[in-house]
C-alpha cells in the first residue's frame, strides 16, 4: 500500500441533523446506565465520527458513551488511527475493518443506541488516481474500496455477460444508453482490447453513445462509472445486509441515520425504515441546503433518512 496521508480532503455531509438525531436518545439515559455505543458504519474521512465524539463529550450525561467506527477501506482505517490516536487511547473510540455484512460479531453484546451510514464514496477515495474510481484522472481500472479482495473493475468486465452488464448500467447508473455502452465494451473484449485505465474506458463510453448526447450537463461516462463502482463493490448486497440485519442490533429507542446518493439506495432505505420494528422520523429525505452545496458540491445528491426503533 502507498503511504497514506494523515489528513483528509473529504467534507462530511449533513453533519448537524445526523448528530442531533443520534445523540438525543443518549441524553435520556439514566446517569447510572451502562456505556452505550454509537456506530458509524462508514468511517471514511472520519468527519461524522469526529462530530459524534465531540457531541458525546460536550455534556456530562453523554460523555461516558462511546463510538464504534467501521470501514472496509484499509487506507481510511490507517488515516483514522493517526487522526484519532488520542480518542483510541482514551477508549472513547474503537475502529475496525468490516463490511456491512461482517459487522454482526462486533455488534453482538453491545448496547447500541445510534447507527449511521454514509453510502457515498469519500473525496479521499474519488480523488485517488490509483484506485480508479473516477475518470477525472488517469488510473488503473480497479474501483475496489478494499483493494486486497474481490474483482477489480477490469476483471469484472472481462467476465460479465453483455446482458448482465447492460442491466447493471441501466439499474445502477440509470444510463439510457446502457445497451449500446455494454455492447461496445463487450465488442472490445472480443477484440482483446478491453480498456486497462479509467480514461480509456471513459473514451470508449463516449464513443458508444450518439454524438448529440455526448455533451450534456454531466460527463457522458458519469453514470456508467457510478454503476460499475456499485457492482464491483457489491454495494446493493451490502446495503441489504445493513438494512436487514445490522440495524436490528439497535436497542428500542435507538435511531438509525442513512445518507444515500442513488435512487435505488434511497428506495431500499425508505422501505426498510417503514417496516417493523422501525418508525421513520423523516417523512421525506432531508437534503443539503444551498449554503452546504455551495461549499461542497458533492452534497447535492445526498438524501438523509432517519428512523427510530420501536
Give mean pLDDT, residues 237-249.
98
In a domain, 157, yes or no: yes
Strand partners, 114: 38, 255
Asked whether 69 and 81 are in contact (CB, 8 A), the reply is no
Cα–Cα distance for residue pair 230/154, rounded to 1 Å: 14
258 within 8 A of 238, measured Cβ to Cβ: no
Q: In what order do the strands lie in the sheet with 66-71?
A: 93-97, 66-71, 37-40, 112-118, 250-260, 303-309, 278-280
Arithmetic mean of pLDDT, 131-143:
87
**Which is nearest to 40 in space by CA: 27, 49, 53, 32?**
49
Is 213 in the same domain as 171?
A: yes
Half-sphere exposure of residue 205: CA atoms within 13 angstroms, side-chain side: 24
- Say what the pLDDT of residue 187 is: 98
User: Is the residue at 214 inside a domain?
Assistant: yes
Query: What would the grid cell of residue 20 be?
Result: 442531533
pLDDT of residue 7: 57
Domain total in the chain: 2
- pLDDT category at 150 given cuts 50, 70, 90 is very high
Per-residue confidence band for 216, with pLDDT thresholds at 50, 70 and 90? confident
Of the candidates 176, 203, 232, which is a domain's last residue?
232
Average the pLDDT over 255-284 and give the result.
96
**Same structural domain, 241 and 107:** yes
Per-residue burial over 162-184, b = 16 or more CB atoms within 10 Å of its CB, e = otherwise: beebbbbbbebbebebbbbbbeb
Q: Which of 191, 212, 232 is the last residue before a domain boundary? A: 232
- Do 24 and 161 belong together in one domain? no
In a domain, 129, yes or no: no
CATH number reported for the structural domain that contains residue 90 in this entry: 3.40.50.150
Non-local CB neighbours of 122 within 8 Å, separated by 6+ positions:
8, 10, 44, 45, 76
Residue 111 belongs to domain spanning: 15-124+236-309
User: Rg of the chain's alpha carbons, rounded to an integer?
Assistant: 20
Picking from 232, 258, 289, the residue at the C-terminal end of a domain is 232
The verdict on 178 and 300 lying in the same domain is no
In a domain, 135, yes or no: no
Amino acid at each position: 500500500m502507498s503511504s497514506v496521508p494523515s489528513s483528509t480532503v473529504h467534507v462530511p455531509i449533513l453533519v448537524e441533523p445526523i448528530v442531533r438525531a443520534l445523540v438525543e436518545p443518549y441524553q435520556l439515559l439514566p446517569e447510572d446506565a451502562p456505556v452505550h455505543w454509537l456506530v458509524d458504519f462508514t468511517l471514511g474521512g472520519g468527519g461524522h465520527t469526529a462530530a459524534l465524539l465531540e457531541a458525546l463529550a460536550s455534556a456530562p450525561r453523554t460523555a461516558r458513551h462511546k463510538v464504534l467506527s467501521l470501514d472496509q477501506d484499509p487506507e481510511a482505517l490507517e488515516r483514522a488511527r493517526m487522526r484519532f490516536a488520542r480518542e483510541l487511547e482514551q477508549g472513547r473510540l474503537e475502529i475496525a475493518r468490516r463490511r456491512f455484512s461482517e459487522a454482526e460479531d462486533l455488534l453482538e453484546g453491545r448496547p447500541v443506541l445510534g447507527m449511521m451510514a454514509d453510502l457515498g464514496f469519500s473525496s479521499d477515495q474519488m480523488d485517488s488516481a490509483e484506485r480508479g474510481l473516477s475518470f477525472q484522472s488517469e488510473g488503473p481500472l480497479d474501483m475496489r474500496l478494499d483493494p486486497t479482495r474481490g474483482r477489480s473493475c477490469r476483471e469484472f468486465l472481462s467476465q460479465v455477460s453483455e446482458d448482465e452488464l447492460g442491466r447493471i448500467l441501466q439499474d445502477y447508473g440509470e444510463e439510457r444508453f446502457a445497451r449500446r455502452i455494454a455492447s461496445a465494451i463487450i465488442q472490445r473484449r472480443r477484440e482483446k482490447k478491453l480498456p486497462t485505465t479509467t480514461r480509456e474506458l471513459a473514451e470508449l463510453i463516449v464513443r458508444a453513445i450518439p454524438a448529440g448526447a455526448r455533451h450534456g450537463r454531466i460527463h457522458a461516462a458519469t453514470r456508467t462509472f457510478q454503476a460499475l463502482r456499485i457492482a464491483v463493490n457489491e454495494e446493493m448486497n451490502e446495503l441489504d445486509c445493513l438494512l436487514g440485519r445490522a440495524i436490528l442490533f439497535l436497542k428500542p429507542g435507538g435511531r438509525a441515520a442513512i445518507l444515500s446518493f442513488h435512487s435505488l439506495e434511497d428506495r431500499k432505505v425508505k422501505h426498510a425504515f417503514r417496516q417493523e420494528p422501525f418508525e421513520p422520523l423523516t417523512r421525506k429525505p432531508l437534503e443539503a441546503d444551498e449554503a452546504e452545496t455551495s461549499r461542497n458540491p458533492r452534497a447535492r445528491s445526498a438524501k438523509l433518512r432517519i428512523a427510530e426503533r420501536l
